[in-house]
A and B are shown apart, each in its own frame.
Chain A
């Protein structure tokens, strides 16, 4: 049981390049989300999904796209990388039963540097 798996762990991009951060979970969780972590800013929600085929924007969605074609996978795409997107990115998942919350399981993170 791997939990939430993120790849790659580290990435350096040049300004303007695009890339996809991968996230996969094997717990049959309905709810998946992407956060970015910056010093002094805590964890800020980028996009989230409550199930396959359903996505929505979080607090800081600009410059990022997501899709959810399967329950297991929730990739995050950077369309044209900018230095402001240098951050540590975390994927998280949980069950999502109406009116009930459960703890998130986080991946180990992707450290992205845009030069």
Chain B
């Protein structure tokens, strides 16, 4: 089955700096790669996703890049703000809609 690895497990950045979170996946048949943000006491919320026919996608301060050859994808957050502090999960899925998640990274943005 699919195996998604996420690293690092924690990341601390200064407010205004950029943050990059990287994930790798194992199944070359995976074609959908979403990112979720989880705030304390809440369920994960989809913040951006990318499909295998696209190399990059942007939405305001966040972007995701995908390298299918190397089987890795990354989340980029620019101009970080304290409200970006949360746990971020990457995931991968093939045609069966079954998502496999990474273990999550705790992002802390220092004011």
Contact = CB atoms under 8 A, between A and B. Distances in A.
A109 interface: yes
A104 B45 CA distance: 8
Interface string A19-60: 000000000000101010000111111001010000000110
A31 B97 contact: yes
Nearest to B92: A101
Contacts of B93: 101
Contacts of B95: 98-99, 101
Identify which of B9, B36, B93, B99 gathers the most chain A CB atoms within 10 Å of its CB.
B99
B43 A109 contact: yes
Contact of B102 (A42, A59, A94, A103): A42
Given A106-B44, A108-B43, A42 B98 contact: no
B44 A48 contact: no
Contacts of B103: 40-42
A74 interface: no
Contacts of A98: 95
Nearest to A105: B46
Interface of B: 1, 6, 9, 31-32, 34, 36, 41-46, 49, 51, 89, 93, 95-104
Shortest Cβ-Cβ A-B pairs, 4 listed: A106-B43, A101-B32, A103-B46, A42-B103
